[in-house]
Amino acid sequence: MGRVMNNVVEDFVARAKWVVRIATKRRWFVLSVAAAVAMVCVLGLTAVPDRFQATARIYVDTETVLKPLMADLTFQPDINQRVGMLARTLISRPNVERLVDNPELQLDVSSASAREDVVSRLMDRIKVVPTGSGNLYEISYRDTSPERAQHLVEATVDLFVNANAGAKKRDSEEAGLFIEDQIRSHETKLIEAESRLKEFKVRNFGVSGVSNQDYFARVSSLTDEVNKLRIELNAAERSRDSYRRELAAEDPQLPPELALRNGAPLVSEGEARLEAQRSQLNELLRRYTDVHPDVISARRVIGQLEIEERERKEAEARVLAKTGKTGKAATSPVYQKLRISLAESEAQVASLRSQLAGLQGQLQQVRSLAGRVPQVEAELAQLNRDYDVIRKNYELMVGRRESASLGVKLDESSQLAEFRLVEPPHVSPSPVFPGRLHLAAIAIIVSLAAGVLSAVVVDLTWPTIDEAVSLRQLSGRPVLGTVSMLVTPQVKRKQRMHTWRFTIAFGVLLMLQTLWVAWIAMKPHLERVQS
């Protein structure tokens, strides 16, 4: 690796010596070409104006105190995304046309073509670049007039700050109009859905809306209740039959000595049944209201028992009027308790039969509508579903309207994004690169390089032989010998004169170029002093 580097360095040094030898041999040609290129650069740079750059920096603070406080109360867009989009779309044709129409900038818009050129140039030269974390934006513009560049950057900063407020106001207005239109539309649909639901219920009164269950669930529930009452009625009838058998086997009369000793009360069987039914009615009234079917059935049974007891008493009174004798009443307490239990059991059987008849009637009524109820309930479910969807959408839009209204008030009262002018618009005191001063300094190097390059090209095109090495390389044959030239003092003096002339000419060229660069550097200061 070191040997390769040494070879490269040796080759570079050899080529440099070769170029220096050629430039020295053709030094007047090099000087002529350098002077010609320098003159061309001078003429060209007189038409190149200096450009000055105006810059400004704006920081957009999107983290405010109100942002977390209003998070659940109103809709808040992504402020960072909105500001980023605003920065990317700031240099658009409508915004640049607003800048062109600003009379303070004094732009040339005398004709349509000139206006179009100015708009296109500004769109290319105005730069809005995010820096740092993304919330810091730099606005820059380059122009030949530093005052115009600063004014244009100031106008762009104002446009950047005010465009955000205008965009938010337009968005709020458009959102408000859209929500109001949707609320009116959903309100109309909601009224129509309520009317359809009301008309349907009126048209199918007694068929729809009687239960939260569907038809088959109602039939199944009623069937289960009927079966349950049948089981209870069967058990009550078996209990009643058991009391009847025990009552038939029991002697209603006590022995005379026990009857006189105990003084048993004389209670008829009808009175016992009536008393048992009244006790059952009191028990039902403690659990149910007066309109409950069991209460109504118990009262109906009590009414029948009262009628039967009244008829029995009237019959006994008629018998007593005819015979003048009264029948013997049961004196056995066991017999009387069995009669009371039997009366209670018969009252329970009567109540269960009444309930069973009522439920069987409801079941029969529901089954009679078997062909209509499922269809009606399906239509009712569809109407309720449509109504619920429309109502939910309507309530959602009303809630969004309140959120939008709160958001508009929030925007009016405070800014969710604060624009801070970190670096006011200012113009750089020196022209931006490449300015005329930079180009003038570069022109010195370019002119000398052009002279040397021209000498190399001429030497390669029309070579001259003054060394044995050059002759051997050019001919490819061995050189047998060389003839030396004797330089006389007159020739040496003449060579020194040529060298002094070249040195003076080269120094004059460098001095003129240096003075030209110094004049270009001092010109702006002189113009500011004169102004």
The average pLDDT across 120-127 equals 88
pLDDT reported for residue 282: 84
384 within a domain of the structure (yes/no)? no
Closest to 123 (Cα-Cα) out of 83, 82, 150, 156: 156
Give yes or no: residues 315 and 351 share one domain.
yes
Work out the pLDDT band at 55, boundaries 50, 70, 90: very high
Neighbour count for residue 160 (Cβ, 10 Å): 21
pLDDT reported for residue 69: 46
Owning domain of residue 167: 52-183+414-427
The average pLDDT across 464-469 equals 70
The DSSP secondary structure of 12-39, one letter per residue, reads HHHHHHHHHHHHHHTHHHHHHHHHHHHH
Q: pLDDT tens for residues 172-205?
A: 566 667 777 888 887 888 888 888 877 777 776 5
**CA–CA gap between residue 59 and residue 65 (Å, rounded):** 17
399 within a domain of the structure (yes/no)? no
296 within a domain of the structure (yes/no)? yes
Give yes or no: residues 155 and 281 share one domain.
no
C-alpha distances out from residue 472 to 236, 349, 407, 481, 482, Å: 144, 146, 92, 11, 12
The average pLDDT across 19-26 equals 82
Work out the pLDDT band at 156, boundaries 50, 70, 90: confident
Number of H helices, E strands in the chain: 16, 4
490 within a domain of the structure (yes/no)? yes
Evaluate whether 275 touches 373 at the Cβ level (below 8 Å).
no
Among positive and negative, which fits the CA dihedral 37, 40, 44, 45?
positive
**Helix (H) or strand (E) run with residue 147 in it:** helix 146-203
Work out the pLDDT band at 210, boundaries 50, 70, 90: very low
**CA–CA gap between residue 460 and residue 470 (Å, rounded):** 12
Which residues 6+ apart lie within 8 Å of 49 measured at CB? 144, 436
**CA–CA gap between residue 183 and residue 188 (Å, rounded):** 9
Give yes or no: residues 138 and 226 share one domain.
no
Give yes or no: residues 41 and 67 share one domain.
no
pLDDT reported for residue 459: 80
Neighbour count for residue 397 (Cβ, 10 Å): 19
CA of residue 440 relative to chain centroid, distance: 57
Question: Residue 141 has which token pair?
Answer: 């513009």
Give yes or no: residues 420 and 445 share one domain.
no
Ranking 116-125, 248-257, 479-488 by mean pLDDT, the lowest is 248-257
151 within a domain of the structure (yes/no)? yes
Work out the pLDDT band at 238, boundaries 50, 70, 90: confident
Give yes or no: residues 23 and 67 share one domain.
no
354 or 175, which is more confident? 354
Question: Residue 373 has which token pair?
Answer: 């109820």
**CA–CA gap between residue 440 and residue 444 (Å, rounded):** 7
pLDDT reported for residue 326: 47
Where does a domain end: 427, 452, 472? 427
**CA–CA gap between residue 24 and residue 235 (Å, rounded):** 140
Query: Quick one: angle between helices 79-88 and 146-203, nearest 10?
Result: 130
The average pLDDT across 38-67 equals 78
Ranking 116-130, 203-217, 341-355 by mean pLDDT, the lowest is 203-217
pTM: 0.46
**CA–CA gap between residue 465 and residue 484 (Å, rounded):** 14
Q: What is the three-class DSSP state of 329? A: coil
The average pLDDT across 349-365 equals 82
228 or 410, which is more confident? 228
179 within a domain of the structure (yes/no)? yes
Give yes or no: residues 20 and 72 share one domain.
no
**CA–CA gap between residue 12 and residue 423 (Å, rounded):** 50
Residue recorded with tokens 């005329």: 436
* 417 secondary structure, DSSP code: S
pLDDT for 211 beyond 50: no
Give yes or no: residues 304 and 444 share one domain.
no
Work out the pLDDT band at 284, boundaries 50, 70, 90: confident
Which residues 6+ apart lie within 8 Å of 265 measured at CB? 336
488 or 83, which is more confident? 488
Ranking 73-82, 411-420, 441-450 by mean pLDDT, the lowest is 73-82
**CA–CA gap between residue 294 and residue 147 (Å, rounded):** 102
Question: Residue 253 has which token pair?
Answer: 């009369």
By percentage, how much of the chain surpasses pLDDT 70?
Answer: 71
Number of structural domains found in the chain: 3
Give yes or no: residues 521 and 508 share one domain.
yes
pLDDT reported for residue 346: 82
Alpha helices in 263-368 (DSSP H): 269-287, 293-323, 333-368
Of 104-118, 333-347, 466-480, give the range with the top mean pLDDT: 104-118
Evaluate whether 427 touches 53 at the Cβ level (below 8 Å).
yes
Give yes or no: residues 29 and 64 share one domain.
no
The DSSP secondary structure of 181-218, one letter per residue, reads HHHHHHHHHHHHHHHHHHHHHHHTBTTBSS-SS-HHHH
412 or 178, which is more confident? 178
Give yes or no: residues 287 and 354 share one domain.
yes
Ranking 284-298, 317-331, 416-430, 487-501 by mean pLDDT, the lowest is 317-331
Chain mean pLDDT for the chain:
75
Give yes or no: residues 127 and 28 share one domain.
no
**CA–CA gap between residue 342 and residue 245 (Å, rounded):** 10
CATH of the domain at 93: 3.30.1890.10
Evaluate whether 366 touches 207 at the Cβ level (below 8 Å).
no
Note the residue count of the chain.
531
**CA–CA gap between residue 94 and residue 255 (Å, rounded):** 124
393 or 247, which is more confident? 393
